[in-house]
Amino acid sequence: MADKERIQLNLRLDGYRELLDTVKAEAEAAGISVNSFVIRALKSAVGQPADTRQTIASQTATVMPANLEETLFPMLDKMLGDRLASIEERLGKLRA
């Protein structure tokens, strides 16, 4: 990440305390930072693929569970499922 340009987005969530709490909890459950979680959500919302190498590295480096399979397999399933859903959505648009 040292070679990436540092840019910022300041976002107010006035009136959305529950959303912020949910985002924080989901990021913690995934073993990633809130920043990484929000970037992944934004990329998904605009149809950009996630950088799976960076995502896997940040998730496994942040939390090293006692049983890696219990954490890693669900994360991979979700990432692959999200990716497949995005591809299916794009194919549906192409067919229309």
Q: Provide the domain limits for residue 48.
A: 17-95
Q: Is residue 24 part of a domain?
A: yes
**pLDDT tens across 22-54, in order?**
999 988 888 888 998 899 989 888 888 877 655
Q: Is residue 89 part of a domain?
A: yes
Whether residue 8 lies inside any domain: the answer is no
Residue 66 pLDDT > 80, yes or no? no
**Whether the predicted pLDDT of 62 surpasses 70:** no
Residues in the chain: 96
Q: Are 60 and 53 in contact (CB under 8 A)?
A: no
| Tokens representing residue 11 in the block | 């976002």
Tally of structural domains, the chain: 1
Query: Is the residue at 25 inside a domain?
Result: yes
Entry pTM? 0.50
The per-residue pLDDT for 74 is: 79
87 falls within a domain: yes
Within 10 angstroms of residue 40's Cβ, the number of other Cβ atoms is 20
